[in-house]
A = this chain, B = another copy of it.
Amino acid sequence: MRTGVWLVGARGSVATTSIVGALALRAGLTGPTGCVTELPGVNSPALPGFADLVFGGHDVAVTPIAKRAEALADAGVLPARLVAALPEELSAVERELRPAPTAGTQADRAAALVRDLTAFRQRHELARVVVVNVAATEPAPRPHPGHADADALRAALAGPDEVLPPSSLYAYAAVAADCPYVDFTPSTGLRLPALTALADRHGVPYAGHDGKTGETLLKSVLAPMFAMRHLTVRSWSGLNLLGGGDGATLADPDANAAKVRSKQRVLGETLGYLPQGDTRIGYVEELGDFKTAWDLITFAGFLGTGMRLEFTWHGCDSALAAPLVLDLARLTAAAHAAGRTGPLTDLAFFFKDPLGTATHSLADQWTRLCAFAGSLDAGDTDATRG
């Protein structure tokens, strides 16, 4: 089952790490650490193998992917030996990358995106192409009547306005090309009534949003711990310091606000009340792709006694995100093959701000993920249907 993985933001850190990693796994040069889909309970014959994945993508940047990979190796994100061992494989991917279309109306650009996706699928005889958005985080878009209704949207796109933010135009094109869509970022993407309606019409599944890789991952196990022990969280405050491309984008207060909001949601929903404090994001160029997050949690125990927990997370964001991108591509492809449509709420395990009313407890999300993965293997796939 050859499966396309089309990355929006294909020259970024997360995308490049995902690609190098998948190529290295295929070549047997590394192991699947960090890949959830390789764990018993989630792994399943229904999932395409790493060797079945074919990569392509869009980006507004032009730096060759091999150069980006070298830069990531210099920054300690990737082992240099892997990049050195895969020159031809990286060139092959390079040939599948396309510039983001810029000419014409948004309708024209969407059509160009659809052509790129369709041509990719045909060129490589792919069973399907999963589109994954790993482009830079956008600010929240200006409201537009076309966001609410698929037909109004189509009409508006043909006009001169920038009706959709870029992430949503990619989502629109993905759906139009019958591709499942995953939003790994906090950007709008498919989250507009017009677009989810369109996705339903095209019968494609979609997942999102905002990959859960650091502080929120910890929150999704620590907040349930406090809840299960009936301890009252009085305040939860944090500072996320990060450099890298993503850090620079998030230094923009608008993008920052979107990210911070999705980070707090887990607390309110898990605890049933919102503790004092908030989470801040700070850009420190010198930290590069490594992020340092510090959180202070004050809580009350029996008879009101005050206590505190502090943690420092020092993680490489791209190395944490990349295997999840591969996991999501595999799971969403298998869901599509199994005929699933609409929001894949069972993939909440992977996201800061998951679709649907899913629980925010990582353990509960895990249980749902395992059940979901198991159900994909029930035989109702392309093969059996074909």
Contact = CB atoms under 8 A, between A and B. Distances in A.
A379 B77 CA distance: 53
Contacts of A35: 230, 302
Contact of A285 (B276, B301, B366): B276
Contact of A218 (B225, B276, B298): B225
A262 interface: no
Contacts of A82: 303
Interface string A215-243: 00110011011001111101101010100
A319 to B, nearest CB: 4
Interface size, A (range)? 35 or more
A148 interface: no
Interface in A238-259: 239, 241
A349 to B, nearest CB: 8
A286 B299 CA distance: 10
Interface string A6-26: 000000000001001100100
A311 B314 contact: no
A361 B366 CA distance: 12
Interface in A270-289: 276-278, 280, 282, 284-287
A34 B229 contact: yes
A300 B77 CA distance: 11
A193 interface: no
Contacts of A308: 312-314
Contacts of A221: 221-222, 224-225
Contacts of A277: 241, 282, 284
B280 A282 contact: yes
Given A228-B362, A239-B237, A33 B304 contact: yes
B303 A296 contact: no
B319 A302 contact: yes
B301 A323 contact: yes
Closest 6 CB pairs of A and B: A363-B363, A34-B302, A305-B319, A311-B311, A239-B239, A301-B319
Given A301-B320, A301-B323, 15 more contacts: A21-B302, A30-B303, A30-B304, A33-B302, A82-B303, A218-B309, A237-B284, A241-B296, A276-B285, A277-B284, A280-B280, A290-B307, A301-B316, A307-B315, A307-B320
